[in-house]
Chains A and B, each alone.
Chain A
Amino acid sequence: MKEKTQVADIDRSLYDFRYDEDESSFLDCGITPEIIREISAEKGDPEWMTEFRLHSLEIYNRLKMPDWGPDISGLNIDNIVAYIRPKKGMQSDWNEVPDDIKETFEKLGIPQAERESLAGVGAQYDSELVYHNVRKEVAESGVVYTDLESAMHDERYAGMIKSHFMKLVPPTDHKFAALHGAVWSGGSFVYVPSGVKLEIPLQSYFRLNAKGAGQFEHTLIIVEDNAYLHFIEGCSAPKYYEASLHAGCVELYVGNNSTLRYSTIENWSKNMYNLNTKRAVVGENGKVEWVSGSFGSHVSYLYPMSILNGRKARAEFTGITFAGEGQNLDTGAKIVHNAPETSSYMNTRSISKSGGISTFRSAVTINENAVGSKSAVSCESLMLDSISRSDTIPSMVVKTDKADVGHEARIGRISDEAVFYLMSRGLDENAAKALIVSGFADNVSKELPLEYAVEMNNLINLEMKGSIG
């Protein structure tokens, strides 16, 4: 009988520890005007934000659930706790962070990463930021990296927040954008002034510890002209049997001649509904680079969108999705070419095993004014067994003749010829197959900072016994 190579499930032991929560810090479940007002009061929102939240709630109640994509009928919003009061306010001194929270992030390696390779770190635990710090030299360059609530109350940034907050992703965009507008809490505000090129990355890490809760952080990044920023986002949660919800929102404004790289390693637990919305608008000759690894969640809807509004603006999306048992991960990207000579490139890999479902879904739109634009999409999917599923649903809408759009996709299993070739070079069959699977994810791992590439390889965690082929 043919021996099979085992590609193991993602090793989640690193993420599955948890601490008991004091449930008196939870607001009631469900989304009502009273709860929205309570959240707003807890956070000391300015009046316009309270109004915005209540207006978003009206939109949320009006909009229907999406009628495409994975089934989310297991998610009952009435059972989700939208806000958890923090034990202590946000700290900039690590020693001041409560012990259990500190221990959580130390296990995840956040302080160590900050010391070694980051220009600044933000750490969110449940609904609020618990720690935020930025290197002195970075702050002196004029870069602002803080939590959104503090920025909203700081007269230097309040106007900027009001004029940018949920302008790219309006609450009318979809039901969960409206929900986010109503209950958002936490997240980061980053401002990079003109001409500042931040060589080392900033990172925010989001941890949802509480059972049956939602996390609704908002990340707002404004990169002015001729600037550079690499922002890293990490997400994890311990596993519970109750459904949890992540409906965050990311809005990125990339100025003329600027580049913003946004890297995400998402490893939510398998009870999580990850209904996140990310969107960037890019100015003339600017560039947005998305690097995205989706490993966790029970269900994901995740399609970072790039709107290329300036002449010669560019977008790149590099992504990998690994769907294992009990997971239905619907991921991809959307790109809108809205100015002449814009260009985009999408390169994705999907792996399905042990009954997991991965779907690549994309939309490239070339509008009438995007003359001379180019777009290329490449997606590959690997099925590791016959109980899994892998779908690709790309779409291209072209409204001008002066554009070039290319698309290619492949789906299949590990090629016998490739295994034979590697075996002829001295590898045994299992090693050859494991090497091919590992190489399949290479397009993403080489785009990540080294420590994250190592983490990703650990997540894929290939073992040498059992079942490909």
Chain B
Amino acid sequence: MTKLNILPLPTFARLGVNCAEREVGAFEREEITVPEGAEQQIIKFVSPCSETIVTVGKNAALKLVMIFADKQRCAARLITTLDDSARLDLIQLYLGGDTVSEIVTELKGCKSAFTAEIGYDLGAGDVLDINLVANHYGRKSTSEIAVNGVLRDNAQKTFKGTIDFRNGSAGAKGSEKEDVILMNEEVVNKTVPVILCDEEDVEGSHGATIGRIDEQHIYYMQSRGIPEEKIYELITRARLLKIIGKIGDEQTEKRIHNTLGWEVQY
């Protein structure tokens, strides 16, 4: 067994969140370089054991979409380095399987920026462990992480999100937010939103809401004649659609809808 997704600063061992252990083979490695001033969009359907190394040059921008649609065992690693005023907009969707995913972003450059929109829809037998780390080195670097997901049946999910303000990252800002909807009494959700701070002049925040759909939302929709089971489906679908809609590629969106078994009018 290999220890993966190691939490940068470990916490109480009994919670079982300090690392994930899996049997993994050799990682299939891919390198992506976005040259200075360039803008690129890449859409990847992630293969079962992959490592992606990304370098984004000065004033360059990358929009990276990663879809985890293969409902198999998967271990993935994304390591990105951002230069001055470089930008990574990451969209990730997890649609099932047993997945261990690590995302490390090194915000080395001044005014470098990282956004992450992560969505998951997990059902029977699905296990997901995400370890996201945003290391702020550059002055005025920013990170914004939003995670939205749904857990059904006996799905198990761990999300560890760390914003690490290193000394010298003056003026940096980081925020992370996770909203989880729990749909079955057998689900297990673990959320660990970490902020590490070695610099005075920074702003960091994190928040999490975990639970059922707001009763007021259900009441409102019921008063409009929508049955309860349909309401749950609509609300969870709306959460994922918000992320899917940002991909900006109709073929990819169709493929995701098919994987999810959604019937959508195009």
Are the C-beta atoms of A400 and B13 separated by less than 8 Å?
no
19 residue pairs A–B, Cβ–Cβ below 8 Å: A361-B11, A363-B11, A365-B15, A371-B185, A383-B202, A385-B200, A390-B197, A395-B11, A395-B12, A395-B15, A397-B15, A398-B190, A401-B151, A405-B210, A406-B209, A409-B193, A409-B204, A409-B207, A411-B202
A391 contact from B187, B190, B195, Cβ within 8 A: B195
A110–B189 alpha-carbon span in the complex (Å): 47
Asked if B228 is an interface residue, CB under 8 A from chain A, the answer is no
**A411 and B11 in contact (CB under 8 A), knowing A386-B201, A400-B185, A405-B211?**
no
State the main secondary structure of chain A at its contact with B. strand
Complex: A390 Cα to B187 Cα, angstroms: 33
Instruction: Count chain A CB atoms within 10 A of each CB in B193, B197, B198 and give the residue with the most.
Output: B197
B170-200 interface code vs A (CB 8 A; 1 in, 0 out): 1000000000101111011111111111111
Contact with B along A386-421 (1 / 0, CB 8 A): 101111111111111111111111111100000000
B9 on interface, CB distance cutoff 8 Å? yes
A393–B192 contact, CB under 8 A? yes
Nearest-CB residue, chain A, relative to B212: A401
Contact A383/B210 with A363-B11, A397-B188, A409-B205 known, Cβ cut-off 8 Å = no
Please pick, from B9, B188, B192, B200, the residue contacting A388 in the complex, using a CB distance under 8 A. Answer: B200
In which size bucket is the chain A interface?
35 or more
Asked if B15 contacts A363 (CB within 8 A), the reply is: yes
User: Interface code A275-301, partner B: CB below 8 Å = 1, 0 otherwise?
Assistant: 000000000000000000000000000
Provide the A16-52 mask, 1 if CB < 8 A to any CB of B, else 0.
0000000000000000000000000000000000000
Q: Would A395 and B185 be within 8 Å (CB), given that A389-B197, A405-B211, A406-B208 are in contact?
A: no
Chain A CB within 8 A of B40 CB: no
- Which residues of B are found within 8 Å of A361, using beta-carbon distances? 11-12
Would you give the 0/1 interface string for B192-236, flagging 1 where the beta carbon is closer than 8 Å to chain A?
111111111111111111111000000000000000000000000
Interface residues of B in 222-264 (CB under 8 A from A): none
- Give the distance in Å from the alpha carbon of A371 to the alpha carbon of B185 in the complex: 9
Separation in Å of the B149 CB from the closest CB of chain A?
13
The 4 closest A-B pairs by CB, nearest first: A401-B182, A404-B211, A68-B10, A405-B210
Contacts A406-B209, A408-B207: A399 and B188 contacting too (C-beta < 8 A)?
yes
Partner of B189, one of A391, A393, A397, A408: A397
* Beyond A396-B190, A398-B180, 11 additional pairs, beta carbon < 8 A: A391-B196, A392-B195, A393-B192, A394-B193, A397-B189, A400-B182, A401-B182, A401-B183, A409-B206, A409-B207, A413-B201
Cα(A68)–Cα(B205), bound, Å: 23
Q: Which of B11, B195, B200, B210 contacts A398 (CB 8 A)?
A: B210
Tell me the nearest residue of chain A to B190, going by C-beta: A397
Chain B residues near A334 (CB-CB < 8 A):
12
Contacts of A386 in B (CB 8 A): 167, 170, 199-201
> Which residue on chain B has the smallest CB distance to residue A391?
B196
Q: Which of A341-398 contact B (CB under 8 A)?
A: 361, 363, 365, 368, 371, 381, 383-386, 388-398
Residue total for B at the interface (Cβ-Cβ under 8 A): 42
Is B17 on the interface with A (CB-CB < 8 A)? yes
Are A368 and B12 neighbours in the complex by a CB distance under 8 Å?
no
Q: Which of B86-136 contact A (CB under 8 A)?
A: none
Quick one: CB contact mask for A125-145 with B, threshold 8 Å, 1 for yes? 000000000000000000000
Asked whether B191 lies within 8 Å of A396 as measured between CB atoms, the reply is yes
If A67-B10, A394-B193 touch, does A401 touch B203 (CB 8 Å cutoff)? no
Q: Which residue of B lies closest to A398 (CB)?
A: B189
Which residues of B approach A to under 8 Å, CB–CB? Answer: 9-13, 15, 17-18, 151, 167, 170, 180, 182-185, 187-212
Q: How far, in angstroms, from A381 to B15 measured CA to CA in the complex?
A: 24
Find out whether the CB atom of B205 lies under 8 angstroms from the CB atom of A410.
yes
Q: How far is the CA of A87 from the CA of B169 in the complex (A)?
A: 56
Query: What residues of chain A lie closer than 8 Å to B183, measured between beta carbons?
Result: 401
Q: Are A368 and B185 in contact (CB under 8 A)?
A: yes
Q: How far is the CB of B173 from chain A (nearest CB, A)?
A: 9
Point out residues on A near B: beta carbons under 8 Å: 67-68, 334, 361, 363, 365, 368, 371, 381, 383-386, 388-413
Cα–Cα distance between A393 and B197 once the two chains are bound (Å): 11
Least Cβ–Cβ distance between A330 and chain B, in angstroms = 10
Contact status of A395 and B198, CB under 8 A, knowing A363-B15, A400-B185, A411-B204: no
Contact assessment for A391 and B188 in the assembled complex, using a CB-CB cutoff below 8 Å: no
Docked pose: A385 CA to B200 CA in angstroms: 5
Contact of A395 among B17, B205, B207, B211 (CB under 8 A): B17
Query: Within the complex, what minimum Cβ distance (angstroms) separates B201 from chain A?
Result: 6
A349 to chain B, nearest CB (A): 14
Query: A410 touching B192 by the CB < 8 A rule?
Result: no
Which residues from chain A contact B211 at a C-beta distance below 8 Å?
A: 398, 401, 403-405
Distance in Å: Cβ of B160 to nearest Cβ of chain A: 9
**How far is the CB of A307 from the nearest CB of chain B, in Å?**
14
User: For the complex, what is the distance from the CA of A412 to the CA of B205, rounded to whole Å?
Assistant: 9
- The chain A residue sitting closest to B198, CB to CB, is A389
Please, how many angstroms separate the alpha-carbon atoms of A31 and B182 in the complex?
49
Contacts of B170 in A (CB 8 A): 386
Q: Are B184 and A393 in contact (CB under 8 A)?
A: no
Residues A401 and B185 in contact, CB atoms below 8 Å apart = yes
Q: A407 near B185 (CB under 8 angstroms)?
A: no
Contact B208 A384 (CB under 8 A): no
Query: What's the minimum C-beta distance from A391 to chain B, rounded to whole angstroms?
Result: 5
Establish whether residues B197 and A411, one from each chain, have CB atoms under 8 Å apart when the complex forms.
yes
